[in-house]
Chain A
Amino acid sequence: MSSMLRVEQVSGGYEGKEVIQDVSFEVKQGEIFGILGPNGSGKSTLLKMISGVLPIEKGKILFDGKPLDQYSTKELAQKMAVLSQAHPQTFSYSVKETVSIGRYPYQKGFFRSWTEQDEQTIVRAMMQTGVVPFSHKPLQSLSGGEQQRVYLSQALAQEPKLLLLDEPTNHLDLSYQKELFDFIKTEAHEKGLTVISIFHDLNLASLYCDRLMLIQNGKVQALASPLEVIREEMIQSVYQVSVKTYPHPELPRPQMIMLPSQSKKEKQSVSFITKDMLQVDHEAIVLQTPYPLKAMSSAVIGAGVGWFTTFVNRHVPKSYDCRDSKREMEQYLRAKGFSPSETVGMMTAAQLTDGVIDEIEMEDFSVVIAVTAGVGNAVDIAKCEEHDFVLQSGTINIWVFVNGSLTDEAFIQGIMTATEAKVKAMQTMNVLDPFTKTVATGTSTDSILIAATQRGTPLSYAGPITPLGKAIGKGVYRCTVQAIEHYLKRAGQR
């Protein structure tokens, strides 16, 4: 793709004050290029220089192969359009009148005849943004998002090669943001429209831009793909706020979240999770916490990573019809008065009273572990309708609650360590796979949960020789062994 805009060592600003200093970059045709920076960093000034509103003091801007200052105002308007925040209007024009103004750069002569081509272009532009239904309404009668769509049509009516956006979605709701940028992405990637946009919202920029330029005090701090620009250290140093970045669940586009500083009250209120807080009966083991815990689990409800206040390990009969277990489980939770969105819910056919709960005190943190075990069901989950005929049924559900603040690594290592401890417990108890007659490593439907208060002692790792790893390993091993003993005893009695 050819170069659409080349900015070479440009400096300038207002009345001798250099707001922009020695900025260089190049934007290719069909690219979506985002400009980021804190307030007063010079984003808007730079955009004004590119759009020719503000003269540059030093350097050079080449637009579509020609120096910017060699374009007449009309020529420039035929190739470049600007969409900025919608401002309130003093006088009201109809939607169609407003869009028609986009053809001004093409109108020549004293009478400025309105050609068939002009008419077709504005109708097409209005169709693209879906404003045809209100083409005769006054602009002021439309909502903010609709007005912005009208201005987008106006810009499209200019038939630009380069579209400049100056935070066009400020004050507009989520659906409009997505709508606009989805549209712009299609125009850019399929029709070769080049887009340069200023963003306040770093996440939006990361989602839609091919490249990002981060500026601070008029100088370029970073110029690369979103993956390289939206990094914690970078954003922290430029914006002076503590942030965390995390991967987008579906796309290779990093997202960023702010970390609010904790209030005194939040810092002081430290209440621990203890084993007495777990309520056990034949129907379920339930833990309700006074504040949300960060949890990582493979449960039926609330799987993955999230914040939860209720943890339920529910006993279901062996004949349980598990075709739509998720929905059935949600109904069960609601019936019990738990909110499914705040709950991690597991199921087991094992007797809950055979489960083992333990609490391990370490020097500056503690861990509560709960294990329920049934080991007959090592295989054949695919034939869940046949559960009726499987005599010995069960699964191993492991809960680990940590009174401490865990990193992501610690969560994952905690799961590894707990799993290793479970495997060791199976070996110790010499549990065999009924089909292969070899030592089993688990059952086919095991579930695990590791949850942490995220307050108190920071715990970075949970490998087997770290304090946390030791607590988890020792605790899970001991509890699993005991739970299997209870299970086998009950099975033997039968």
Chain B
Amino acid sequence: MFTQRYLRSSNWFSYAIAFVMLVLSVFFGISVGTVSIPFSTIGHIFLHQWFAVPLGADIDPMLVNIVMDIRLPRVIPAGLVGASLALAGAALQGLLKNPLADPFTLGVSSGASAGAVFVLFFGISLPVIGKFTLPFLAIIGGFVTIFAVILFAKWIDQMMKIETIILTGIIFSSFLGAFISLMIALTGEELRQVIYWLLGGVSMRGWDYIYLMFPFFLIGVVLLMMNGTELNILSFGEEKAKHLGVEVLHRKMLILSAASVLTGSAVAVSGTIGFVGLVIPHLTRLAWGTDHRHLLPLSIFHGAAFLIVADLAARTIISPTELPIGVITAMIGAPVFAMILMRQRMKRYE
């Protein structure tokens, strides 16, 4: 494909496109709703808020509240969650050399979900952190799970081969999944709440959640971006990577932990939102190439933009009723994914 090759050869171009798409999605995400706000107004409000530019007389102060307290605190978590899941997915697909891997393959999300459902089921509220009990325990649940997966994988296989890690992840996922189902089955009053949380969403999160998630996001991004070259090499096989001078075990642990930090914090904030971590890395790879040094940052941009738009669709399609965002991502994600598979199959037959 000519265009594809042309695009690949100029990296700055791919970043420019990804950035513009993200900015556009942010503006759309803020603009569209029961009260529609023009882009120029949004721009003014941003300038006013962050650079102390005086607000024009024609702008209703109520719009400032809508942008800063309602729309933006919804767009940002959506963006962070989308970016986290897409980045974690891209890294894990590279590490596990498996295009079907996603942030949920390793059981982190099941662990986090189990933690969250546990909180909802027992109606727990820990002192001091109060309303953050749920995200807090969800993150803890995710961490405990990934450590258990790594320890178990290492215990049964010193070298921690990729296949072992995938199998271990699946074992833990289904085991924890059973616990979640058990709690759902025994739930009375809170059933709707639990189900809704599991379907995923970013409404009513607010700035507190953003501050809670951001440090994890930053750690995950920095750690993974430091391993772009290593991911490239690892996708040629672990033994080959070692022959090329990569400290395989060390890097593997680092990448797994970073991806888990991202996934765990994303699930804690938004519940389990599927398909973002699977489809976005695929699409990004298809458009811009496999080189992880660029695939990882570009996945961040595309993942964020995608989830902001998905959230926009979730809350506007049958407004005022809000759809779970997970439904939207799967509805877009599954057909797109099917199309990719078909295209690859056709290419193979050519």
Q: A residues near B, CB below 8 A?
A: 48, 51-53, 73-74, 76-78, 80-82, 84, 87, 89-93, 97-98, 101-102, 104-105, 107, 110, 112, 136, 154, 158
Inter-chain contact A104/B242, CB cutoff 8 Å: no
Q: Do the beta carbons of A82 and B246 come within 8 Å of each other?
A: no
Find chain B residues with CB under 8 A from A105 CB.
Answer: 244-245
By Cβ-Cβ distance, the 3 closest A-B pairs, closest first, are: A77-B245, A105-B245, A74-B245
Contact A158 B242 (CB under 8 A): no
How far is it, in angstroms, between the C-alpha of A82 and the C-alpha of B243 when the chains are bound?
A: 6
Known: A101-B232, A104-B233, A112-B229. Contact between A53 and B242, CB under 8 A? yes
Extra A-B contacts (10), CB below 8 Å, given A101-B244, A104-B245, A154-B244: A73-B245, A77-B243, A84-B239, A89-B236, A90-B98, A90-B99, A90-B235, A101-B229, A104-B233, A105-B244
Least distance between A168 CB and chain B CB atoms (Å): 13
Of A48, A84, A91, most B-chain CB atoms within 10 Å: A91
List, in ascending order, chain A residues with CB within 8 A of B5's CB: 136
Q: Report whether B244 and A104 are in contact in the complex, using a CB–CB cutoff of 8 Å.
A: yes
Is B17 close to A, CB under 8 A? no
- Give the chain B neighbours of A51 by CB distance below 8 A: 242-243
Q: A136's closest neighbor in chain B, by CB?
A: B5
CB of B94 within 8 Å of the partner chain: yes
Interface mask (B87-100 → A, CB under 8 Å = 1, otherwise 0): 00000001001110
Q: How far is the CA of A53 from the CA of B237 in the complex (A)?
A: 13
| Sample of 16 A–B contacts (CB below 8 Å) | A52-B242, A73-B245, A73-B246, A74-B245, A80-B243, A81-B243, A82-B239, A82-B243, A87-B237, A91-B94, A91-B97, A101-B233, A104-B233, A112-B229, A136-B5, A158-B244
**Residues in A neighbouring B245, C-beta threshold 8 A:** 73-74, 76-78, 104-105
B205 within 8 A of A: no
Q: B226 near A: Cβ within 8 Å?
A: yes
* B128 CB to nearest A CB, Å: 38
The answer to the question of B133 belonging to the interface, with a C-beta cut-off of 8 Å to chain A, is no
Q: Does B322 contact A (CB under 8 A)?
A: no
Residue among A51, A53, A81, A112 with the most chain B CB within 10 A?
Answer: A53
A91 x B246 contact (CB < 8 A): no
Beta-carbon contact of A104 and B243 below 8 Å: no
Q: Mark B287-325, 1 if CB is under 8 A from A, else 0.
A: 000110000000000000000000000000000000000
A93 contacts B290, C-beta separation under 8 Å: yes
B161: CB under 8 A from chain A? Answer: no
- Collect the chain B residues with CB atoms within 8 Å of residue A77's CB: 243-245
Residues of A within 8 A of B99 (CB): 90-91
* Nearest CB in chain B to that of A82: its residue: B243
Q: Complex formed: what's the CA distance from A93 to B289 in Å? A: 8
Taken together as a complex, chains A and B put the C-alpha atoms of A82 and B237 apart, in Å, by 13
Expressed in whole angstroms, the minimum distance between the Cβ of B197 and any Cβ of chain A is 34
> How close is B99's CB to chain A, nearest CB, in angstroms?
6
- On chain A, the residues within 8 Å of B235 by CB distance are 89-91
B97 pairs with A97, CB closer than 8 A? no
Task: Report the separation of the CA atoms of residues A316 and B170 in the bound assembly, to the nearest whole angstrom.
Answer: 84
State the CA gap A73–B241 with chains docked (Å). 10
Selected from B97, B226, B233, the residue in CB contact (under 8 A) with A90 is B97
Given A52-B242, A91-B94 in contact, is the A73-B247 Cβ separation under 8 Å? yes
Complex: chain A residue closest to B243, CB-CB: A82
Closest Cβ of chain B: how far from A19's Cβ, in Å?
A: 16
Would you give the shortest CB distance from A13 to chain B, in whole angstroms? 13
Identify which of B229, B237, B247, B290 gathers the most chain A CB atoms within 10 Å of its CB.
B290
Chain A residue nearest to B292 in the complex (CB): A91
B131 within 8 A of A: no
Per-residue interface assignment for chain B, residues 260 to 302, with 1 indicating a CB less than 8 Å from any chain A CB and 0 otherwise: 0000000000000000000000000100001100000000000
User: In the complex, what residue of chain A is closest to B99 when comparing beta carbons?
Assistant: A90
User: Least Cβ distance of B126 to chain A in Å?
Assistant: 39
Report if B240 contacts A (CB, 8 A).
yes
Q: Are B236 and A101 in contact (CB under 8 A)?
A: yes
In the assembled complex, how far is the CB of residue A462 from the closest CB belonging to chain B, in whole angstroms?
57
Query: Given A82-B240, A90-B97, does the pair A104, B246 have CB atoms closer than 8 Å?
Result: yes
Q: How far is the CB of B101 from chain A (nearest CB, A)?
A: 10
Q: Which residues of B contact A81 (CB under 8 A)?
A: 243
Q: Is the CB of A110 within 8 A of B226?
A: yes
> How far apart are the CA atoms of A48 and B242 in the complex, in Å?
11
Q: Chain B, 1-40, contact with A by CB distance < 8 Å: what is the 0/1 string?
A: 0000100000000000000000000000000000000000
A-side contacts of B94, CB under 8 Å: 91
- Contacting residues, chain B, for A97 (C-beta < 8 A): 232, 291
B232 touching A93 by the CB < 8 A rule? yes
Measured CB to CB, the closest approach of chain B to A80, in angstroms, equals 8
- Distance from B241 Cβ to chain A, minimum over Cβ atoms (Å): 9
Q: Inside 8 A of B247's CB, which chain A residues have their CB?
A: 73
A483 to B246, CA, bound (A): 82
Cα of A77 to Cα of B244 in the assembled complex, Å: 5
Pick the most buried of A82, A90, A136: most chain B CB atoms within 10 A of its CB.
A90
Chain B, residues 221-241, CB within 8 Å of chain A (1/0): the string is 000001001001101110110
Q: Min CB distance, B176 to chain A, in Å?
A: 28
Given A87-B237, A97-B232, the answer on whether A92 and B290 have CB atoms closer than 8 Å is yes
Taking CB atoms, residues of chain B closer than 8 Å to A80 are: 243
Residues of B with C-beta under 8 A to A154: 244
A98 proximity list for chain B (CB < 8 A)? 236
Chain B residues, Cβ within 8 Å of A84: 239-240
Shortest Cβ distance from residue B226 to the other chain A in the assembled complex, whole angstroms: 7
Once A73-B245, A97-B291 are accepted as A-B contacts, the answer to whether A91 and B285 lie under 8 Å apart by CB is: yes
Name the distance in Å between A45's Cβ and chain B's nearest Cβ.
13
Measured CA separation A78–B244 after assembly (Å): 8
Please tell me if the beta carbons of A53 and B285 are within 8 angstroms of each other in the complex: no
Interface hits, B66-102 → A, CB 8 Å: 94, 97-99
Chain B residues with CB under 8 A of A136: 5
Alpha-carbon gap, A91 to B94, bound state (A) = 8
Chain B residues whose C-beta falls within 8 Å of the C-beta of A92 in the assembled complex: 290
Residue of A nearest to B245 (CB): A77
Instruction: List, in ascending order, chain B residues with CB within 8 A of A110's CB.
Output: 226
